[in-house]
Structures are given as structure tokens and as C-alpha cells.
Homo-oligomer: A and B are copies of this chain.
Amino acid sequence: MALTWVSEHNGHMLSQSAMSSAPPTHPLLARLQHYVQFADDERASLEALAAGPVITVRQRRDLAREGDKARGVNLILDGWAFRYKTLEDGRRQIIAFLLPGDLCDVHGYIHRELDHSTGAVTPVRYVEIPRERIEALVALGPRVAQALWWDASVSASIQREWTVNLGQRDALERLSHLLCELVHRLRAVGLADDNRCDIPLTQTDLAEATGMTPVHVNRMVQELRARGLIRWKGRAFEALDLDRLCNVAMFNPAYLHLDREGRHLDAT
């Protein structure tokens, strides 16, 4: 139990303080700071997003279902979730993984109904951010507004990369690529310690995300183990040789846009 994923009992601030030496922030802010440095008031407003009434969902339950009426934007505080779509005959595809700090899409602003579902992997704590709240943030100035754009834009970029992954890479490459992405994204929110992190996904989850069968996922995991690239027991994942894993996957982290592209907007 010691190093497992944060549960409902210990909040996200706990897991944060263990990871980073910077002043503890919630994971969205950690991520946005990869784009731009905020002024104090901006940081405070972003910080305050996590203050709203927190909703908790039990593991393996849905946060929202296809066809539901869309409410505001959701901010994941801790836990893992995924977006998925189901075909008429029951086949299911995981479309995206949602990690702490992820804003679930702006969809809710525009569309009346969700065209996909969201399911919790672990227990998930999140807040619903009403639209006025976002508008108030944007009103703080271009720095925050563009940071939110950056966030939405990165999500779109990830979705494009998933398209490439499913269309062009073979099974081993596909799995490796997903793992590389997760490690990089977890690092961005302070949830990966070097090359080690908790990945609470089952092999069935991985199968639904990579478009293969659970059986074949298992074989690919073992292949990666046999090549000395990863160690993975329960939730405890470690990339023993991340460089080689990235090579296998032909992983190019550029699409995650984690290189402070908004530097020119930095607060002094």
C-alpha cells in the first residue's frame, strides 16, 4: 500500500508534495507552467479552481456517458480516467487517458450532448468548473487565456498522435508509444519519479486503447520485459531504458508541446 496510487483517503496535495521541490500546486498548474510562467494573481486564480466542490467517483464507474447532457468543464484532481466510445456491437475503444491536471474537453460549452463516455480507472476526484469561472480566468489577460488554448491544443495534438499510432505502428511499437506518452505526461504533473511511476491500467485497458486483444498486449508486455526495457509489477512501472523504449516506439515528444512555447509571454 505504501507507494500505490493516491486513493480517496489521501488527497492529491499529499502526492504532490512528495514529488516536487517547488511549492505544492495542483497538477493543472504544474502542467500549464510548462507553457508559460504566471503572475502571482494568475497563479492564485488557477490554484483556486481546485477549491470548488470536489466530486468523487469510485473506480471503474463512469463520470459521464455518451448522450448525457454536457455540463461544465471538468478538472481531474487525482486518479486516472479515460474517454471511450462503444460501437453498436459492443467493441470499445479508449480514445484518451485523463490524468490528474487534465481538463476534460471544452465540449461541454458547445454541445448539448456528449458524443463519448468517460470512465474512471481508479477512484477519481474532480471538480466541475462552470463556464463563468473560465470566462473570469480568461478575463485575467492573454497569458491565462493562451495557456488554456495551449491545453486544448495539446489535447488535440495527442489525439492526432493516437491516430498515427493506431494507423501505422505495429503492436510492440504501439504499446511502447503509449507507455512513453504516459511517462512523459506523468512527469509533467510531477507524478513520475525519474523513470518510475504508477500505472493503474490493466492489460485489458491497454488493449482497448491500442486496438489489440488483451492476450496480445500480454505478449508485448513480456517482450518488453524480455528486452530489458521495462519492469512492471502491479501498478509499479519502471522504464529501465527509456531511450531504447522511445526508439522502439519511434516516440517524438514534440507533440506533447512541453517546451515552454509561451515563454515570450512569461510574467517577469
Supplied contacts A83-B160, A115-B257, A156-B159, 12 more A-B pairs, CB within 8 Å? A85-B161, A87-B164, A87-B250, A89-B250, A91-B168, A95-B160, A110-B262, A162-B163, A166-B211, A167-B209, A167-B210, A168-B211
Q: How distant is the Cα of A110 from the Cα of B93 in the complex, in angstroms? A: 30
Q: How far is the CA of A50 from the CA of B208 in the complex (A)?
A: 42
Quick one: closest B residue to A151, CB to CB?
Answer: B110
A146 at the interface (CB under 8 A from B): yes
Given contacts A111-B153, A111-B261, A168-B211, whether A163 and B93 have CB atoms under 8 Å apart is yes
Do A164 and B85 touch across chains, with their CB atoms under 8 A apart?
Answer: yes
**Number of A interface residues, CB 8 Å?**
48
Query: In the assembled complex, which residues on chain B have CB atoms less than 8 Å from the CB atom of A133?
Result: none
15 contacts across the A-B interface (CB closer than 8 A): A87-B168, A87-B169, A92-B168, A93-B163, A93-B168, A96-B160, A107-B156, A109-B153, A110-B146, A110-B262, A115-B254, A156-B159, A159-B163, A163-B166, A168-B211
Docked Cα-Cα span, A167 to B106, in Å, equals 24
Interface string of A186-229 (1 = CB under 8 A from B): 00000000000000000000001111000000000000000000
Q: Which residues of A contact B (CB under 8 A)?
A: 83, 85, 87-89, 91-93, 95-96, 105-107, 109-113, 115-116, 146, 149-150, 152-153, 155-157, 159-164, 166-169, 208-211, 250, 254-255, 257, 261-262
- Give the residue name and chain of the B residue nearest to A159 (CB): B159
Q: Residues of B contacting A262 with CB < 8 Å?
A: 110
- Give the chain B neighbours of A255 by CB distance below 8 A: 115
Instruction: Identify A93's interface contact among B87, B150, B164, CB under 8 A.
Output: B164
How far, in whole Å, are A113 and B252 apart by their CA atoms in the complex?
14
* Cβ contact of A167, chosen from B152, B211, B250, cutoff 8 A: B211
What's the least CB distance linking A233 to chain B, in Å? Answer: 27
Query: With A110-B261, A149-B110 as given contacts, are A160 and B160 in contact (CB-CB < 8 Å)?
Result: no
In the complex formed, the residue of B with least CB distance to A35 is B110
Bound form: Cα–Cα A95–B167 in Å: 9
Which residues on B sit within 8 Å (CB–CB) of A163? Answer: 93, 95, 159, 162-163, 166
